[in-house]
Amino acid sequence: MQLYGFFRSGTSHRLRIALNLKRLAYEQVAIDLRREEHLRAEFKAINPQQLVPALEFGGRVLTQSPAIIEWLEERYPDPPLLPPGPDERAQVRALAAIVGCDIHPVNNRRILEALRHRFGADEAAINDWCGTWIAAGFDAFEALVKAHGRGGEFAFGHQPTLADVYLVPQIESARRFKVELARWPRLMAIDAACARIEAFQRAAPAVQPDAS
């Protein structure tokens, strides 16, 4: 497997976590977003959308981190990232979707670049923008974990699930945008629990080969 990604990309981060939890070996191919390598023709030939991550495996290229992670879950079901029952799976998927559908898309790089260059937003405005949507999502995530989290140390029970795979990179991003995280103690406890697991440690942006 070849993972085309960027160390600080939240979507690349979540895919690294999933691959590590599945105990799958992969080679990283760095696509430096700061140098706009994702816009080059070479990468467009790999992913026409010119976004990271992309996963090349067996002569095919998979794109979009939610689709790739679902593919991993279907192809490599052990250890599972989703609970066995359909109701529980729906709850875990809903938690992941808070990040994947409602927080990250409005805070990703191309949105922030548009705010900077088309609308003149400075870094304080960028942080305020990001903090607004992170806070709204984290409020809901925390409430749902308290209601349905099953009392475990993770977002849903006593082992990491898809919800944690999505949450941890978003917390990393929140720190980068200077969001005050103390108001979500349950999420901070989940983040700390994940940080004790090697799969999450090895996926952290700071330890990636292209981190600088």
Q: Tell me the mean pLDDT per 10 residues along the chain, length 212.
A: 98 98 98 96 97 96 98 98 96 98 96 97 97 98 91 94 98 98 98 98 97 86
CATH class held by domain 2-79: alpha beta
Identify whether the C-beta of residue 43 lies closer than 8 Å to the C-beta of residue 4.
yes
Domain with CATH 3.40.30.10 in the chain: 2-79
Rounded to whole angstroms, what are the CA distances from 62 to 24, 103, 130?
16, 23, 28
Tokens for 79, please give them.
């250890």
Q: Tell me, what amino acid is at 63?
A: T
User: Phi first, then psi: what are they for 40, rounded to 5°?
Assistant: -75, 155
- Amino acid 198: pLDDT: 98
In the chain, CATH 1.20.1050.10 covers 86-199
For residue 150, what pLDDT is reported? 79
> Strand, coil or helix: what is 29?
strand
pLDDT for 66: 98
Cα 166 to Cα 104: distance, rounded to the nearest angstrom: 10
Rg value, the chain, Cα = 17
Query: What's the confidence (pLDDT) of residue 148?
Result: 86
Q: Does domain 86-199 have CATH number 1.20.1050.10?
A: yes
Q: Quote the pLDDT of residue 197.
A: 98
